[in-house]
């Protein structure tokens, strides 16, 4: 295997932040989505896999030496995505999503789907989060962390009688009567200003 630092184009003394920055830059450049229907698609996939392997190798090595790594917030299970877990815990959702998107589809395991669901959940996109958590549980049904996340979102979905799609909150209390009342109010306001919102009223 090539030297992981060379693959990312960073010095061995680079900080964790510099390594993450280099990784993100390369992930943006070689992301498989950029090469759809492109003859270079296979090459880009290989390059992305090499970049991911190099990044994981460096971060795991540093994590085992205690210079970085994830602590608290999730479970103590070993993880291939310690950096992403740290970003999610720190509320840096866009950066976490960027790293997740950089993982080629064929390398997305149960943990990837769990973390993707965690980002989506924190953004309030519950339907997409539910789908990701479900996939994580299907891929690894014995993992209590994934099951707890799925159970939690399932309870929330069933508890929201007015739950619709990916919006936060539950029943908005907006009925047909509310809509009619709002339209009549709008019409009255328009008439006061010399206009007519609803000609028949």
**Rounded distance, CA 197 to CA 184, Å?**
9
What pLDDT digit, counting tens, does each position of 49-105 carry? 888 888 888 888 877 765 433 333 343 344 568 788 888 888 888 888 988 988 888
**Rounded distance, CA 145 to CA 125, Å?**
20
May I ask the CATH architecture of the domain 1-106? Orthogonal Bundle (1.10)
Residues of the chain with pLDDT under 50: 67-78, 161-173
Q: What is the distance, to the nearest Å, from the Cα of residue 82 to the centroid of all Cα atoms in its chain?
A: 15
Closest CA to 167 of 135, 134, 128, 133: 128
Whether the model pTM is above 0.75: no
Place of tokens 């953004």: 123
Q: Which two tokens stand for residue 164?
A: 């619709």
- pLDDT confidence of residue 188: 60
- pLDDT confidence of residue 112: 92
Domain edges within the chain: 1-106, 108-170, 175-201
């Amino acid at each position: 295997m090539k030297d992981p630092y060379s693959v990312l184009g960073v010095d061995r003394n680079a900080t964790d932040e510099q390594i993450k920055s280099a990784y993100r830059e390369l992930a943006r450049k070689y992301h498989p989505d950029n090469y759809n229907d492109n003859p270079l698609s296979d090459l880009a996939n290989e390059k992305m896999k090499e970049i991911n392997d190099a990044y994981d190798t460096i971060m795991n090595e540093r994590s085992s030496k205690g210079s970085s790594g994830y602590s608290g917030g999730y479970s103590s299970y070993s993880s291939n995505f310690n950096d992403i877990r740290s970003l999610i815990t720190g509320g840096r959702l866009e950066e976490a999503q960027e790293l997740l998107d950089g993982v080629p589809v064929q390398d997305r395991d149960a943990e990837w789907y769990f973390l993707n669901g965690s980002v989506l959940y924190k953004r309030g996109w519950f339907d997409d989060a539910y789908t990701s958590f479900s996939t994580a549980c299907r891929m690894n049904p014995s993992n209590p962390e994934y099951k707890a996340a799925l159970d939690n979102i399932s309870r929330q979905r069933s508890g929201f009688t007015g739950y619709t799609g990916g919006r936060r909150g539950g029943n908005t209390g907006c009925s047909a009567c509310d809509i009619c009342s709002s339209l009549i109010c709008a019409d009255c306001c328009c008439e006061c200003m010399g206009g007519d919102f609803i000609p028949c009223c």
